[in-house]
Amino acid sequence: MTPALTALLPGAADAELEDWGPLPEATGHPMAVHGVELWVDDGKSAGIWQCTAGPSYWRQDENEVIYVLSGRMTVTPDGGKPVDVGAGDIAVFPLGWTGTWDIHETVRKVYAVF
C-alpha cells in the first residue's frame, strides 16, 4: 500500500511565505524570516524557511536536514572549517551542532527537523 501524500506546496521555490518576524539567532543587524510549515508532529516539522542576509549563531536542539532552493551562505561549525552552501546543496545539522551561518544573499531552504 502506498502512503497518502499529506502536504503539497506547488512551486516551493516561488511560493508565498508567512512573515515569521526577526531571526532570534541573528548576531548583527535584524534579519527577516519568512516560512511555511507543511507538517508538524510532536516537535518534528518540515517546511520552507527563508532568511535575509546577515550573520547568525546556532545551537541545534534537534536534527535538521536542509535542501537549499536559492541563495548562499557560509556555515562554520565551532572549531571547524567554513563550508559554502548554496542552491542545490543538501546539508545536515545534527543534534548538538553549534556554529555560525553567514548568509550572503537571501536563503530559501526546504527543511526537516526531527
| Cβ neighbours around 1 below 10 Å, total | 3
pLDDT for position 8: 85
pLDDT for position 59: 98
| C-alpha to C-alpha distance for 46 and 99, rounded to whole angstroms | 22
Fold designation for 42-113: Jelly Rolls (2.60.120)
User: Residue 7 — very low, low, confident or very high, per pLDDT cuts 50/70/90?
Assistant: confident
User: Residue 69 — very low, low, confident or very high, per pLDDT cuts 50/70/90?
Assistant: very high
86, amino acid identity: G
pLDDT for position 27: 98
For the segment 84-98, the average pLDDT, to the nearest whole number, is 98
For the segment 72-93, the average pLDDT, to the nearest whole number, is 98
Per-residue CA distances from 75 to 7, 9, 72, 80, 99 (Å): 30, 27, 10, 10, 7
The x, y and z cell numbers of residue 81, run together, are 572549517
Q: Is the pTM of this model over 0.85?
A: yes
Mean pLDDT of the chain: 95
Sorted by where each begins, the domain ranges of the chain are: 42-113
| Tens-digit pLDDT profile for residues 42-68 | 989 999 999 999 999 999 999 999 999
